[in-house]
Structure 1
Amino acid sequence: MTTKPKNPAIELKAVTFWYRPNDWQLTLPALRLENGQHLFIRGASGTGKTTLLNLLAGITRPNQGELWVQGQPLHQLSAAKRDKLRAAEIGVVFQQLNLIPYLSVLDNVLLRASFAKKPNSAHLQRAAALLEALGLAASLWQQPASALSVGQQQRVAIARALLTEPALLIADEPTSALDADNRDAFMRVLLAEADKCGTTVIFVSHDQQLKSYFNYELQMANLVQGVMAC
């Protein structure tokens, strides 16, 4: 297993974010998650789940407060430095998936290594192992991503996010297109792969049945309570 930093995976202090002054605000008094812990985030549409994920991924910065990811002060870093941190330490799977439609399944997964500027030795072997574990047959690996179903594309996006064993994986509704059997198989593989490399998982879903896979929960309706044990 990869050795992860001793800093908390995530630490927020008095974070507030708004798109326009005097408009809706996301306010988080405090939140702390240790390395290797897995957090389930739930909440209705419009409660700020995606906004929170954008903050944790370094896509946006808080207007007020402190936001630390892997010991790095995202609230102080420039956009370029946040991009660099995200490429090196954070795997992201958003609802849009962001696969390159004309690239093959395998090439889409290997893009992660290119973005992170890491040596590519053994990446092909790991990509193959991840795709196989996620239930994508080898006959699909050279197919363009556009030829796959939405559920298959979601699994490709997860394999890409996990390729370089990131310290943090952020997933926004990655099981939305899967039936119950495939969803449960997917969750077992995802969390097992994350545990192998000590990756912290932040997972958003409307599917309350997935809560059973997690030890910690954050309810968007009552953020003042912070992270709670399930």
Structure 2
Amino acid sequence: MELRQYTLHPGQRDVLIDLFDREFVEPQEAAGMTVLGQFRDLDDPDRFVWLRGFDDMPRRAEALASFYGGPVWQAHRDEANATMVDSDDVLLLRPASARGGFPAPVAARPALDSPGSAPSLVLATIWHGVGPFDTAFVEFFERRVRPLLAESGGEPLAYLHSDHSANTFPALPVRTGEEVFVWFARFAGEGRSDEYLERLHHSERWSEEVLPALSRWVGTSQRLRLAPTERSLLR
């Protein structure tokens, strides 16, 4: 899976989202990938974030070559690229365990021009490791961290870590030499995510038991508050 964060020229995010949702979703999936989610970063008006997945790394190479060498991208690439300052902030990830992948979607992708659904929010937490997020960490996350997150209202939807496979499509760079652990939670709206963060902040178990243990593995962290676009499958 790729977690892609694009920095855009001021005022161009909705231009790109309109083009992306209209022209790029179905052709990418026809080429053999899954466009899982497209988002507006609520804390940066010039950032577009999206997720796409592949069956494996050889299939990734085939799918990307098919799409980026195909007629749809060739027809619209100049318009898309004109919105972007940087598109190279890409993390290559894989599920941290057999239970860490995204569940199958519960609803079909909204069609073009379909009525908007109720606002929702996806919270992505990125932990940067002081070393590898090894099997011991994954066991700790599943046994100690995940239950507390769920009790606080932030049940992880998926949790993934760095995939250090060779980039099978070098024309699109990915960040290398990093250790990250990324987990996602879904909320009915900003208010619900704020309530979850407040409960976690005031949890004695979190501050006295989990955080000190996390420091063995986690150096710095980043939190992305993501609003799904009108056609995002993950919403």
Common fold: TM-score over 0.5: no
TM-score in terms of structure 1 length: 0.27
Q: Greater share of strand residues, 1 or 2?
A: 2
TM-score in terms of structure 2 length: 0.27
